[in-house]
Structures are given as C-alpha cells and as structure tokens.
Amino acid sequence: MRRVRTITAVTALLLATAGFAPAAATTATDAAVRPVTACGDLVRGFALPGAATHVTSATVVAATATDPEYCGVQGYVEPAVRFALRLPTKTYAGRYLQYGCGGFCGLVSPPAFADCGLPHGGDVAVAATDDGHVGKTPAVVDDGSWGAHDQAARDDFEFRAPHVVARASKAIIQAFYGAPPRKSYFTGCSDGGREGLELAQRYPADFDGVVAGAPADYWSPLLEFQAWLARVNTAADGSPILTAAKLPALHNAVLAACDRLDGLADGQLDDPRACHFDPAKLTCTGPDTAACLTPAQVTATRKLYSPPTDAHGTLLYPGGELPGSELSWAGWIIGVPETGGVSFARSLADNYLRYLGYPIGAPASTVDTFAFTRREFDRLIPEGVRYNAMSLDLSAFQRRGGKLVLWHGWADEAIPPAGTLDYYQRLTHGRPQDFARLFMVPSLYHCSGGTTITEFDPLKQLVAWVERGTTPTVVTATGRDAAGHVTRTRPVFAYPRRAVYDGTGSVDDAANFRPAPPASPPHDAVDWAGNGLYAIPGPVAR
C-alpha cells in the first residue's frame, strides 16, 4: 500500500545513496557484457511453459546525463501481465533488478537504473510490471473492481505476476546478451515488499537477493486494519473525528513527552514503542482550537494508537499507529483536499472488501458494514492466504544462498512496524541468521518521507552481501528538505542494535554515532488472531 506522494517517490528512494563504501576491485561479475542480438529482433514470442511471453516493442533509447543507452522492451506475459524491461547496450555487467509495485498496482512504472555500488553505472537490466491488470484509477492505484469477477486477474496480482515477469525477463536477457543474468535481485516497498517476501517464500530460485521494505505481507489482516483506521476516525455523520488541523499539536506533544527517551533531543523517536503518550493531555479545557483535542478526538486518537480487537480483546492485527507518526496521518487516515476528502485507508479497505477480499461469489462487505469479529477475520482467510506472504519457511531460499534484507520506517502510517518486527522475530527466533537482516528507520513514513529522515535504500548492501559475502551491519539513512538539500544523515544498524550519539559534533551527521546493543533482547512476536497463518504457504504459479 502506498499513498500518491510515495508512488512517484519510490524511484528516487531506490536510487538514493545509502552510505555504502565505493567498490574496491572489479570482479568477474562487473565485466561489461555486450549484446549478441539486435534490439529490434527481440520483438517476438517466447514460448515459456506457463508463461507465454510476447514482446510488443523493442527500441534503442539514447543515453542521457543520468541513464545509459539501453534497449527499451515492452511486452506482456499471457494473459495480461504487462512489463517494461530496460537492457543496457554498453554497460551491462550481468545483473538483473526487478522492482515491485505499490498499492493494488495496475500500472507499469518506468524501471529506474539503480546504483548497485559497483564500478559500472547502469550495469543492471531493470524491469517492472503492472501485476496483470490496468487500474481503474491509476493515479491513486487503489481501485479493485478489476478483480471482482476475474480470478485470473486476481491470481496474477496475488502471487503470479512477479514470478512470470522474472522468467520472461531472464529469457529476453538470454536472447539479447547470449547468457542469463549472473545475479538477480528484487526490491520493493509496501505491496512490493510483500512481493519480495512472497518470491523468497514461494519461488526461491528466482532471485539471489531480495529487499522487502515496509512489507504488506500480512495482506488480508492489514486491509482489515485499514478498515479499522477508517472506522475509528469517522463520526456518525461521516466526517473525520480527528482532523488534519490537530495533527501538528498532537505530534509536538508527543515529541515533548518522548523525544529524550532515546538519550537525545533530536526531533525523532528512535524506538517509539518506549513512548507511552496519553492524548488526554491535550484535552480542550476551553474553546475547541487546533492546539487541543475534544473528548471524541482523544478517544479516536487512543484507538488509532491501538490495534483492532474483537469484543473479547483478541488482536486482529499485531499493532497500531506508533507515536511520532502523527503528521503522516493526513491523507492516509484523514481525508484531505488532495485525496478528494477520502482517506487512503478507507479507499483501500473499501475496494478490498467490496471486490477482492472474499472468494468470487461469496458475500462481500464494506468499511462501514465490516464487523471486527473473529468470524469476519476468518472469512477473509480463504482468499487472504493467496495474497499473504507470511510463511516462515524460507529454507529453500536459504539453501540456495539467497539473502533477504527487510526494512521498515518507525513512523510508517500505512503499515505498522509491529507486523515486520513480529515476522522477523518468528523467522529468526531472535538470533542472528546468515541470510536475513532487518533495519528499522527512525521517523521514516511509509516507504519514504518523514520529519527528519526521508530516504532509505539498502540495495547496495544487499548486492555486496550476495556477491562479496559482506554481511550488512549498517545503512546510512538520509533526510532532505523540500529543495532536496541533505539535512540529516543517520546510521541505521541491523536490528536490534541502535545508533547512539558519541557526544561530539552535529547530531545531523551519521559519523557521530556508534552502534549499541538493545537494553534487553527483543521479544517482538505477538499473540494475535493470525497465529495460524504463518504455516500456510499459499499457492504458486506452475
């Protein structure tokens, strides 16, 4: 899931520098590979079993100041999985990088040439897909009517499209360069993070390394959580209870109460779980102004900070909104003029419950009629397990030498970090693993943006891990202002280690921080209604 402002920002996010040291020596993997086939000759069919592929256009695109010359390929995998593939004509060094989608997908975002931290700029072939359907509202990417009666379209989005596009791209790469990719990588955030985990779980041979940012892997419970966000902040007349005008005062009060808990007053909460802020402290004692909360707003805010539960107190999702994320609630939880007055949470949840959440032909639901009960939670499971990427069995991926980098912003308004922490704890049992690392980024919103940190990308570290055996221990996060100027850099150490100020120099300079262990070992696994979902692997494309 991804709001409009982050759909276009993801390309920049994936290209952002991440503090990785320059490559030392060129290796065999870095040697440039020249094409053996003319670009235009790729316009043909590729008879892949279960993934018949058709290239509809292939044209050489001249180099620019930022991109190398490349062969731009457009095509589709039957029945309707559209993709774009860019093949460098002079700088390709044997790597393939596939990008994930956001929201309900529905459009092919032009794949950007990424900096893998190695000698050749533009050394990777890059691809992206629409996940098998054209969105009805591509600017928002949140309409689900395309899947109301089309199981094939659902299958593509649920579990098939990223896999068959990987197969198609590799076949085209083989035809163009005379050899398959030497190394293959996948990177995505939100639904793209879900796709990354799904690929590692269900198609372990597809990629050597996967970056899964803010993954929507708990898909069906997550969409139920979106319904919760919409419902608890909607008054009887349909208006928002907590309004966008109240968010600055709420956020400032949270910082005043909790900013120093991590030992440094720097405008961000390094672990917002330590903050136990009660919004009742802002209760209006006089006129209702932007500086205070009405009793109804206090109640709504408390519910937003809490996970949804049934009448018996059973958690229906592992967590709620975290303190420090308040400024990002405008648009996602609270409708604003830029979203047509409808919050993204409501739009996504309503489309899912109406068109995608239940088996075709089964009774559907809406945000306003959904019951937060265990029965309704269970009614979403039969279709939900097809989307979910919750399996803890990554043994085949691990045996192949696959590497997984998970990351999540602590101030993510769309997908609470609790789910990623819960999954990582269950996956690793709280002990370091040789194939998986997690990075938790202070103040970062959903995929990008934030109050102090705005960018994070561990792709360079993943490539170094896969190709050089350099286990990632730290990635530098970056904060930029509206003009694009760097305002802060901060090291993000592999979880559960944290960054501690060394007492010298600017708190906006990553060089002035050192790693420190957690105060106590993490216990992030959550007892919730979805405990049985981790053992369900989900279907695969044949």
Q: What is the mean pLDDT of residues 315-321?
A: 98
DSSP assigned state of 379:
H
CA–CA distance from 395 to each of 84, 204, 332 (Å)? 31, 9, 36
Tokens representing 37 are 């086939």
pLDDT exceeds 50 at position 22: no
Query: What region does 55 belong to: left with phi over 0, alpha with psi -120 to 50, or beta?
Result: beta
Cβ atoms within 10 Å of 483's Cβ, excluding its own: 6
What's the CA gap between 36 and 87, in Å, rounded?
Answer: 12
CA atoms within 13 A on the CB side of 158: 25
Is the four-CA dihedral 496, 500, 506, 509 of positive or negative sign?
Answer: negative
Out of 111-120, 142-151, 219-228, give the one with best mean pLDDT: 219-228
**CA angle at 350 for the pair 348 and 353, rounded to the nearest 5°:** 105
- Asked whether the beta carbons of 134 and 155 are under 8 A apart, the reply is no
| Choice among 58-62, 116-120, 523-527 with the minimum mean pLDDT | 116-120
Threshold 0.85, pTM exceeds: yes
505 by Cβ neighbours in 10 Å (0-12 / 13-18 / 19+) ranks as exposed
302 by Cβ neighbours in 10 Å (0-12 / 13-18 / 19+) ranks as middle
Tokens representing 541 are 């494309």
pLDDT of residue 14: 32
Q: What is the mean pLDDT of residues 207-216?
A: 98
pLDDT of residue 32: 82
What's the CA gap between 219 and 221, in Å, rounded?
Answer: 6
pLDDT of residue 137: 59
pLDDT exceeds 60 at position 10: no
pLDDT of residue 121: 58
pLDDT exceeds 70 at position 475: yes
Dihedral pair phi/psi, residue 156, rounded to 5°: -60, -45
| Contacts (Cβ under 8 Å, ≥6 apart) of 157 | 104, 105, 131, 132, 133, 147, 387
pLDDT of residue 313: 97
Q: Is 489 helix (H, G, I), strand (E, B) or coil?
A: strand
> How sure is the predictor about 30, in pLDDT bands with cuts at 50, 70 and 90?
low
Cβ atoms within 10 Å of 11's Cβ, excluding its own: 16
Is the four-CA dihedral 255, 260, 263, 267 of positive or negative sign?
Answer: positive
H helices, E strands: number in the chain: 15, 14
> How sure is the predictor about 197, in pLDDT bands with cuts at 50, 70 and 90?
very high
What mean pLDDT is reported for the chain?
92
- Asked whether the beta carbons of 20 and 461 are under 8 A apart, the reply is yes
pLDDT exceeds 70 at position 24: no
